[in-house]
Amino acid sequence: MGGFKYAAPAQFYPLAGKMAPWFAAAAAVLGVVGLVIGLYVAPIDVTQKDSYRIIFIHVPAAWMSMFLYVVMAFWGALALGLNTRLSAMMAQAIAPTGALMTALALWTGAFWGKPTWGTYWAWDARMTSELILLFLYLGIIALRNAIDDPRRADKACGVLALVGVINVPIIYMSVRWWNTLHQGASIQAGKSSIDAIMLWGMLIMVFAFWFYSIAVILIRLRAIMLEREAGSAWVARLTEGGEERG
């Protein structure tokens, strides 16, 4: 079980530093390949014309937004249960990326909706629950910012993320039901069978978003580790010879 040694920030800091560039490079390469497939190679859609191409950004962003919330709640719960520092920092590092993905999914969804449904905002079940998810992310970030003591902030955000993760499916079901009652299932995107090349483009973009998220979260995690462990010996060793920390 050698992996556990990386649970200490001092051990994980250099490892994260080594991993981050690889994930970033993979994200860049896959992103370019995926976008080329999505924007040039994939055939034009019969009904939606070129506007459908935004799904190559929209769908991966929406997936990441939901997945990252669960991951954040997982690390938050771990921090709560085991009182570990690194997992709390992990949860802290994930929140802004999750919020970004949610905002991106909403934004691209609106730009997709305008040409396809004729409106930017439709109170569609998925859009509404994404909006609430964005509020949940922003709530966690705001709660952390409001608490001065980082240990208390860790635990408070852990509790909030756990309560949120139980609520997310309930919110989604309620919104979906509310939506079908009020609007009927008028909005049904992606009914036409997806072309194989489109599927490939989408898959590649999903991985690009994955690797981007991992890279950014690792880099943010490094910054958080330095900031919060500023008084510890391993940070002092790192900054040795450098200028005095202000």
DSSP the chain: -GGGGGGSHHHHHHHHHHHHHHHHHHHHHHHHHHHHIIIIISPPBTTTBGGGGGHHHHHHHHHHHHHHHHHHHHHHHHHHHH--HHHHHHHHHHHHHHHHHHHHHHHHHHHHHHHHHS-S----HHHHHHHHHHHHHHHHHHHHHH-SSHHHHHHHHHHHHHHHHHHHHHHHHHHHHHHHHHH-S------SPPPHHHHHHHHHHHHHHHHHHHHHHHHHHHHHHHHHTTTSHHHHHHHTTSPPP-
Of positions 31, 113, 164, 201, contacts other proteins by CB under 8 A: 164
Name residues contacting other proteins, limited to 165-184 (CB under 8 A): 166-167, 170-171, 173-175, 177-178, 181-182
48 binds other proteins per the rule CB under 8 A = no
CB-nearer residue toward other proteins: 19 or 147? 147
Site for other proteins in 79-118 (CB under 8 A): 80
The tokens of 90 are what? 């992990």
The residues in 114-143 that bind other proteins, with binding defined as CB under 8 A, are 132, 135-136, 138-139, 142-143
Q: Compute the least distance from the CB of residue 153 to other proteins, in Å.
A: 9
Q: Which stretch binds other proteins (CB under 8 A): 11-19, 61-69, 146-154, 200-208?
A: 146-154
- Binding segment for other proteins (CB under 8 A), chosen from 23-31, 40-48, 148-156, 208-216, is 148-156
CB nearer to other proteins: give 17 or 169: 169
Asked if residue 215 lies in contact with residue 16, where contact means CB atoms within 8 angstroms, the answer is no
**What is the total count of residues that contact other proteins (CB under 8 A)?**
31
Angle at 209 between CA 52 and CA 3, to 5 degrees: 155
Applying CB under 8 A, among 84, 155, 189, 234 the residue interacting with other proteins is 155
Residue number with CB closer to other proteins (32 or 142): 142
CB of 151 to other proteins, least distance (A): 7
Residues in touch with other proteins (CB under 8 A): 80, 132, 135-136, 138-139, 142-143, 146-147, 149, 151-152, 155-156, 159-160, 162-164, 166-167, 170-171, 173-175, 177-178, 181-182
